[in-house]
A and B are shown apart, each in its own frame.
Chain A
């Protein structure tokens, strides 16, 4: 190899670094400052950037202290997905473009709360594996936590990892397909299967699964049972969950789950602790409903991730946790501030939309792009839109009944079970409640349930003259439908159906 060759190689390496370096700069505090040029917003962004990195460094430091260098390396090897999570501030930057004031703060706030929640739970999983309970994300964590267990969702990492690195799950999806799973199955269970196969998931001595939200999601628990060799309890949500007799059936099932956990784990049911968690959850829900109520205003004071991420991480995973209560209190205050000053979340709010199905995990920028390019405010999504009851905390029986209802009638559960009206009517209900003027369906290609309901939804929308944008994509696999293609679908719809002009990039 000549000196010339070496020089050429070094040069090409530097050229190759240009793009990621530019990207990193663009998504850094300096990049944000250059784009925003508003001192107040720069301060908000910098504050949360520092808070997030503070939490990460605290986690790293504690890990080193408690586990020592060898233990730390072992954790980092086993949970190698921690490295891409270091890009979390880049994710925050991407979803913050063009946002200002209270709306910007709400975006940064939910990102920070997500990081804190994730690291807190991960610490418990690492330092106290005996009390770890791996369960389905379709089940509330209140019961496990009341039993003194640390709950980790089997499917959890499928959400934040594509947020921070859009193609991160590809290798696990490929691994699952190599194991023999049908390639047309949902990429969420595929990535779970792939991660379990590679030994990348926190592992507990028992697992609680369910028949939700779909066949693939439920089926993955057979693989986990075989792979991990641990007992699995499966909760069975009836299809006719809206009937009163379903309450009784499901409460019996929940009691069966508690007995199972008491038999196989050190956890013991503390009804008073459950009451405290449920009371705090009720408070969170009060705040969330207050927030939703404010968002009905035109223009909306807050939108998008402030709604989606706050619900996704704090109602599914940490309901009733003090962190969640504080988060919702802050979100409500931010919305109030915008309402008081008549500041819209999205400047030039021209359209108001609901995003049905989980909103684009591997292309989280899309919602932000919709705001800037067409003035579309995304106010609600199917994962957040619930009609939960407040939990009656008077007796263990009432708590189990209401928690049962929260599971059975929860978002996604009622959309994927029972008659198609559970799916379509809920969309129209959200449409009216939030005074919307278009519906966006995030049409996850391998979701058989919503795919086979789109025909009916399309005709119902036509009848009501409601514009319906169906964006074909895959939940976690950008190789199925590329991000460019997704954006093109949006552009074609906005130009041809909505006759809208672009107002930005």
Chain B
């Protein structure tokens, strides 16, 4: 594939290394990268004072031999790739690791990380699996514990005022992302799904304040672009952690365009502003975490997840849904059964794809997408 040029090319550059040039720049200025791997970690909390959140990814991972030894081959390749990179010291700038044991794979990733590398700061947030007033209070307590531990360990300002400032910065960031994302609602969207995802992933693996100017520039550019042309179908991608924009590019290579993304590293639901007007910013973050994260681990949220997809399909005039499930993920593997049935009942065509973390079998992927488009009569 020919590497994109211009601003999109810059986004791709930022995705080439687990610690990109913006992370290096921020670290050299004395700022503190804190790594996380799951959407249940509230990013605004890690944006306070000198901290910045860094979503873990393992670009270009070639093999996971050491991780396979410890975690076995039957574990999701995302977590194995992260462990492999950690073992190879590819995250040497990271000063803190925050884990949410949202699944067995995530829990054991951090167990093995602690066992093999023993980082100076690790913390586990226990996020309940259903949202009630009691569990929201529990999550707020959990976040307060994390806040206190960070204050003690890094000596940073995690006061309410500092948190509110970080939450405002988050909201500003979200506004920019949403402004770009909304352009995809147009009849003829001015950007492809791959371009949008490259921008979003680059933002997740960079300090938000440093990448924001680039995002603004990108928004200005695409606002003045003509549409990307006629497309066979408008698609929505649904699923778990998806890092590589190339996955979306391969889907789009068959003539469709991805206009909506409801996955962990996507924008819909995930990129939601946090309420800064409440009396307790930590409680606001707890509520925000439950509201924005639509993961199948939330046991009683099936209808909310389903309705969110159906609403998005209508809002973005989606023709078909591509459900991507990373291999060995039981959350999505089990969810897929009732979800696919319910979506088909609503008359929404669904293509279910099983994939690995690293993009592979491009030919097979293209063929399946092509067949899917044809089955929709597109």
Contacts and interface: CB of A to CB of B under 8 A. Distances in A.
Interface of A: 179-182, 184-186, 189, 193, 209, 211, 214-216, 218-223, 225-226, 234, 236, 238-240, 245, 249, 252-253, 256, 416-420, 445-446, 448-449, 451-456
B372 interface: no
Contacts of B154: none
B300 A238 contact: no
Q: From B104, B126, B129, B334, name the one whose CB has the most chain A CB atoms within 10 angstroms.
A: B334
Contacts of B224: none
26 contacts: A180-B336, A182-B328, A182-B334, A184-B328, A185-B330, A185-B333, A214-B330, A215-B297, A219-B333, A219-B335, A222-B302, A226-B341, A238-B138, A245-B141, A249-B134, A249-B138, A252-B134, A418-B101, A419-B111, A448-B75, A449-B104, A451-B75, A455-B69, A456-B111, A456-B112, A456-B115
B329 interface: yes
Given A215-B104, A452-B105, A455-B69, A234 B74 contact: no
A240 B149 CA distance: 16
A253 B299 CA distance: 14
B119 interface: no
Interface of B: 69-72, 74-75, 79, 101, 103-105, 107-109, 111-112, 114-115, 124, 126, 128-130, 132, 134-135, 138, 141, 296-297, 299-300, 302, 325, 327-331, 333-338, 340-342, 352, 354
Given A189-B334, A215-B330, A216-B330, A455 B299 contact: no
Interface of chain B: mostly helix, strand, loop or mixed: helix
Given A419-B111, A453-B108, 10 more contacts: A185-B333, A215-B331, A221-B299, A234-B130, A239-B101, A445-B74, A451-B75, A456-B70, A456-B111, A456-B115
Given A216-B333, A454-B72, A455-B72, A222 B338 contact: yes
B299 to A, nearest CB: 4
Given A215-B103, A452-B75, A184 B333 contact: yes
B211 to A, nearest CB: 32
Contact of B71 (A180, A186, A221, A452): A452
Q: What are the 8 closest A-B residue pairs judged by CB atoms, nearest first?
A: A219-B334, A182-B333, A455-B70, A452-B108, A215-B330, A420-B111, A216-B330, A449-B104
Nearest to B138: A249
Contacts of B138: 238, 245, 249
A221 B337 CA distance: 11
A189 B333 CA distance: 12
Nearest to A454: B72
A220 B71 CA distance: 25
Contacts of A238: 126, 128, 138
A449 B108 contact: yes
A238 B114 CA distance: 21
